């Protein structure tokens, strides 16, 4: 078999493993959907905020952000499962395999995207039934974008997972990284009307561009030109991937 074929088989194996494990852990699938649904139906409906987007409700306005958030949380949780693997020792089997760390990273990364995309599909269906009035094309675009956002955020999750030593860091990573990324992104409010410091923080938050792009897809409205958004998201993904491959290079059982 050629080198490429070997590499591809290994990536496929890792991808398959993650996909199977994901769909077997039903509790995880459901539990991740709880907070987005609370946001959509309690915050979205209860808060009766206003939407800066013409002819849309507040619920509709925050939907793309909540969708992105779901993907972000799924991805980071997935990355943290590496720590779990370390403890369960399954990682040893993969660490000992004749595959390069970049192959391992790509396999894990593709495997992780499945979760984000699946959650996103479920949420889009719920959204379309109760909140959105998007066209099929818009939904399809959003799903496609979900894959991109999943890719970008999974890299982030994997970096954290590879670096972290224990599951105790889980709360830390969630509180220090995921929540701020989500809340600062303007997912829940209109950035253009917020204070200067907040806006600056939002511009520095790569997740802002994920949300903005998703809004363009679903509502036809965005703060920045979509090309900028896309460039920022791609940059985010590439940066995460570089960090991730570096983190995987030094990943070992003893960590």
Site for another protein, rule CB under 8 A? 1, 6, 9-10, 12-14, 16-17, 20-21, 24-25, 88-90, 92-100, 252-253
Nearest partner of 18 among 101, 83, 111, 89, judged by Cα: 111
Torsion angle, alpha carbons of 226, 189, 176, 88, to 10: -70
Q: Which is nearer to another protein, 11 or 150 (CB)?
A: 11
Q: What is residue 240's three-state secondary structure? A: helix
- Could you tell me if 207 and 237 are in contact, meaning their C-beta atoms sit under 8 angstroms apart? no
- Could you tell me if 32 and 70 are in contact, meaning their C-beta atoms sit under 8 angstroms apart? yes
Closest distance of CB 21 from another protein, Å: 5
Closest distance of CB 115 from another protein, Å: 14
Q: Which is nearer to another protein, 39 or 248 (CB)?
A: 248
Closest distance of CB 174 from another protein, Å: 23
Q: Which is nearer to another protein, 175 or 252 (CB)?
A: 252
Inter-CA distances, 184 with 7, 22, 61, 242, Å: 39, 29, 16, 24
Nearest partner of 74 among 86, 85, 62, 66, judged by Cα: 66
Q: Which is nearer to another protein, 76 or 91 (CB)?
A: 91
Q: Which is nearer to another protein, 92 or 133 (CB)?
A: 92
Q: Which is nearer to another protein, 10 or 152 (CB)?
A: 10
Nearest partner of 44 among 21, 26, 61, judged by Cα: 61
Closest distance of CB 107 from another protein, Å: 9
How far apart, in whole angstroms, are the C-alpha atoms of residue 47 and residue 166?
37
Closest distance of CB 99 from another protein, Å: 6
Closest distance of CB 90 from another protein, Å: 5
Nearest partner of 116 among 67, 173, 83, 82, judged by Cα: 67
């Amino acid at each position: 078999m050629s080198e490429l074929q070997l590499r591809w088989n290994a990536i496929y194996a890792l991808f398959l493993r993650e996909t199977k494990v994901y769909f077997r852990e039903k509790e995880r699938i459901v539990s991740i959907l709880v907070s987005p649904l609370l946001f959509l139906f309690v915050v979205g409906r209860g808060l009766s905020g206003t939407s800066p987007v013409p002819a849309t409700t507040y619920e509709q306005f925050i939907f793309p952000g909540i969708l992105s958030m779901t993907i972000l949380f799924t991805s980071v949780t997935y990355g943290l499962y590496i720590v779990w693997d370390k403890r369960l020792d399954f990682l040893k089997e993969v660490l000992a395999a004749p595959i390069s760390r970049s192959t391992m990273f790509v396999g894990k990364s593709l495997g992780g995207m499945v979760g984000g995309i699946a959650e996103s599909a479920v949420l889009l269906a719920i959204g379309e039934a109760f909140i959105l009035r998007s066209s099929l094309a818009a939904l399809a675009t959003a799903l496609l974008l979900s894959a991109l956002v999943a890719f970008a955020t999974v890299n982030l999750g994997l970096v954290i997972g590879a670096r972290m030593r224990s599951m105790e860091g889980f709360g830390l990573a969630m509180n220090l990284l995921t929540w701020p990324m989500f809340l600062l992104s303007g997912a829940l409010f209109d950035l253009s009307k917020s204070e200067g410091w907040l806006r600056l923080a939002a511009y520095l938050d790569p997740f802002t561009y994920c949300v903005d792009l998703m809004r363009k897809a679903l509502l036809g409205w965005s703060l920045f030109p979509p090309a900028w958004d896309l460039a920022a998201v791609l940059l985010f993904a590439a940066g995460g991937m570089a960090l991730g491959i570096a983190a995987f290079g030094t990943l070992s059982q003893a960590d």
